[in-house]
Amino acid sequence: MSGSKAFIVGISGCSSSGKTTLARLLRDIFPSTMILHEDDFYKTDTDIPVRNGFQDWDCADAISIPDMEEALVHIHATGTFPASLDSKEDQNSVGKRPVSDAKMQAMKAKVASWLEKAKPIHKLFTEGSLRLCLFDGFLLYSQEMQSVMNLIDLKLFLLVSREKAVQRREARDGYVTLEGFWKDPPGYVEKIVWPNYATSHAWLFEKGDVEGIPNKAVLAETGIMAQLDRGLDVDMETTLEWAVEKVITGLEEFALVNDTTNEGV
């Protein structure tokens, strides 16, 4: 987005696919980086819809999409979070980092070396006129979120198997909400989380099978990037390397646009 003060990277996928973990790793690698969580736009606890006997926290109707759009526009314009944004996500527990210290140091060195050569981006970062915003959420690329997708500069999509997603989600302690704390009741993941993901993301896969082959034509048309031909459940070290490369490429393209519109920035 030309003239923007933030480069917004969407990181989406099924719940427990590694979105927030990846965002936190990237925040430790790139300078001037902040994280925006889709979970910070949940409606109040009493406004969460009920389906199949459960409060359904894993659907678009549970999210205030207008508030999310407003926040993204504000971030692009100012490079800062709206004053009204009160993040709850970082109050949730964080597991052990699934990436070695050696890999983290290698990625930090890679980005530092790149920045020494990427003069336009380095200048934007050091002058404080550009920030990197990592936006993680489980529904960013559902068709109900088209207006949100239009506000994301780089779209990363993490693939995961049903077995792995269920295993990880069921191992979680729970989630801080606007008005309290939520812990998945028995059967919630099988009856709500995975079916919602499969329904919302079928359009991105051939034959609508979210454990099958991603539809490369649809991904190309929408600008959504996934680790194609690597299968599901790619390890986080490999995913981190892939994401770092995509962010670097995206920032370089951003710098070219801004360099031609801002008199040699």
For the annotated catalytic residues, the residue numbers are 39
- Residue 134 near residue 23 (C-beta atoms within 8 A): yes
DSSP for residue 8: E
Burial class (CB in 10 A: 0-12, 13-18, 19+), 217: exposed
Rounded CA gap, 147 and 219, in Å? 17
Rounded Cα–Cα distance for residues 51 and 91 (Å): 27
| Tokens describing residue 60 | 């678009």
8 Å CB contact between 16 and 168: yes
